[in-house]
């Protein structure tokens, strides 16, 4: 969490999020937008002032604190490939590893330090901001005041700065933004949302505040609800969807896997490359094509049993057993089984690349193989 509100292990992961840091302080800051027309003025900001749109040709992409998380580092790599190494700034409150530090610009940023965030935007002429800073649900439930500060007060700081300086702002949401009263199969973009965690509540708040700032102040706010994200680079941390990562590690190491969810527990999932691609695509989409500010995105939906069957094509002797964790099972039972992402596919052409077979093939190719791995038929 923020430097002055320490109190949680930043390496801990929430149930249901396979590759995001528990106390993410990630930001990405970017810069290259078309030159604004002379005399083209922005809309009123929360302070009542009017700001001229940026006139530079360079797009400054910024990541809010939390950039050292799995998604932050991956997104920075994708953005730098698209816009140039020096046009994307990664930030966090933690010291970066050498490979991250030398891969492009990195700065310290604390989501609760409004003055510091504003200075970064002004000094670097930021035009796009990706706001990943959040305490995820497991840590949030253990420290609600800290989660409220980071997830809600931090969001308010970002919204005000983005509105004042005419930034294009991306804030991710999650399957955790839904609750037991939401329709689950499928879950549409617009429906009842009554989550049972401070993390989920703060994400619903972010969706609504972003939409409000769009209609009230003209803020270019864009949001995607991520399903469970699977990555070969992430280490499972005991989250609700982490079984879909752990099964590969255990299949390779021991040929045995004990699953903490029922075999028929269906959840929406996505490979990290699709997640990052969708994030860039929705940010690049022409504003006039967007009919809403928050979109579901989906790639696949599977159960532990279905995943095991696919893994057994590579490790035929895999032994799958089930020891249900009632806490994580209850969380999974309150989440969507399938995301309806038809609006994203219609409005800005979203199309995923990885289905379950491609996901399994890719995971094994990244994690390596040993004598137990059989060649897939």
What are the domain boundaries of the chain?
23-230
Q: Which residues contact 118 (CB under 8 A, 6 or more apart)?
A: 161
State mean pLDDT over 250-262.
96
Tokens of 182: 């939401």
In the prediction, which pLDDT does 280 show? 97
H-run or E-run covering 203: helix 198-217
Average the pLDDT over each of 234-243, 292-301, 339-348 and give the range with the smallest value: 234-243
- Cα gap 145→211, rounded to integer Å: 25
Which tokens hold the place of 97?
């590893």
pLDDT at residue 55 in the model: 27
**pLDDT one-digit tens code per residue, 92-124:** 888 988 988 999 999 999 999 999 999 999 999
Indicate the range of 141-150, 315-324, 343-352, 358-367 predicted with least confidence. 141-150
Q: Considering the chain, what is the average pLDDT of its residues?
A: 83
Handedness of CA 359, 81, 228, 95 (dihedral sign): positive
Residue 347 backbone dihedrals phi, psi, to 5 degrees:
-75, -45
Mean predicted confidence (pLDDT) in 188-202: 94
- What pTM does this model have? 0.82
Q: Look up residue 236 and give its two tokens.
A: 């499972």
Contact 59, 32 (CB under 8 A): yes
- Residues known to be catalytic: 199
For 175-203, b/e burial (b = at least 16 CB within 10 A) is bbbbbeebebebbebeeebebbbbbbbbb
Q: DSSP readout, 124-166?
A: HT--EEEE--EE-HHHHHH-HHHHHIIIIIHHHHHHHHHHHTT
Give the CB-side neighbour count of residue 210, counting CA atoms within 13 A: 26
Q: Is 76:143 a contact under the CB 8 Å cutoff? A: no
Second CATH level (architecture) for the domain 23-230: 3-Layer(aba) Sandwich (3.40)
Copy the structure tokens of residue 308.
Answer: 């095991």
Say how many Å lie between the first and final Cα of the chain, rounded: 46
């Amino acid at each position: 969490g923020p430097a002055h509100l320490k109190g949680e292990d930043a390496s801990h992961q929430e149930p249901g999020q396979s590759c995001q840091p528990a106390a993410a302080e990630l930001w990405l800051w970017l810069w290259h937008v078309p030159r604004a027309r002379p005399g083209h003025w922005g809309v009123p900001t929360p302070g009542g002032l009017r700001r001229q749109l940026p006139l530079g040709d360079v797009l400054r992409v910024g990541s809010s604190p939390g950039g050292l998380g799995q998604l932050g580092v991956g997104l920075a790599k994708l953005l730098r490939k698209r816009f140039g190494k020096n046009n994307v700034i990664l930030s966090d409150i933690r010291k970066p590893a050498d490979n991250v530090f030398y891969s492009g610009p990195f700065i310290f940023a604390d989501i609760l330090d409004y003055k510091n965030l504003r200075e970064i935007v002004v000094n670097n002429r930021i035009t796009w901001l990706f706001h990943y800073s959040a305490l995820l649900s497991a840590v949030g439930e253990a420290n609600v005041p800290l989660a409220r500060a980071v997830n809600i007060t931090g969001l308010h700081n970002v919204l005000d700065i983005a509105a004042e300086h005419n930034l294009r702002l991306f804030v991710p949401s999650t399957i955790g933004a839904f609750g037991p009263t939401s329709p689950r199969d499928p879950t549409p973009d617009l429906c009842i949302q009554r989550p049972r965690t401070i993390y989920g509540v703060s994400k619903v708040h972010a969706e609504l505040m972003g939409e409000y700032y769009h209609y009230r102040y003209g803020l270019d706010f864009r949001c995607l609800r991520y399903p469970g994200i699977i990555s070969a680079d992430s280490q499972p941390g005991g989250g609700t969807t982490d079984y879909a990562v752990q099964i590969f590690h255990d299949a390779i190491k021991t040929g045995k896997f004990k699953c903490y969810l029922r075999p028929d527990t269906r959840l929406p999932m996505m490979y990290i490359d699709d997640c990052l691609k969708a994030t860039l695509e929705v940010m690049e989409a022409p504003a006039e094509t967007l009919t809403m500010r928050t979109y579901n995105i989906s790639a696949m939906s599977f159960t532990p049993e279905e995943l095991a069957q696919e893994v057994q094509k590579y490790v035929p002797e895999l032994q799958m057993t089930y020891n249900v964790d009632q806490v994580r099972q209850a969380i999974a039972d309150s989440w969507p089984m399938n995301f309806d992402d038809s609006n994203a596919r219609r409005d800005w052409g979203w199309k995923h690349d990885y289905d379950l077979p491609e996901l399994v093939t890719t995971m094994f190719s990244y994690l390596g193989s040993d004598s137990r791995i059989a060649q897939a038929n």
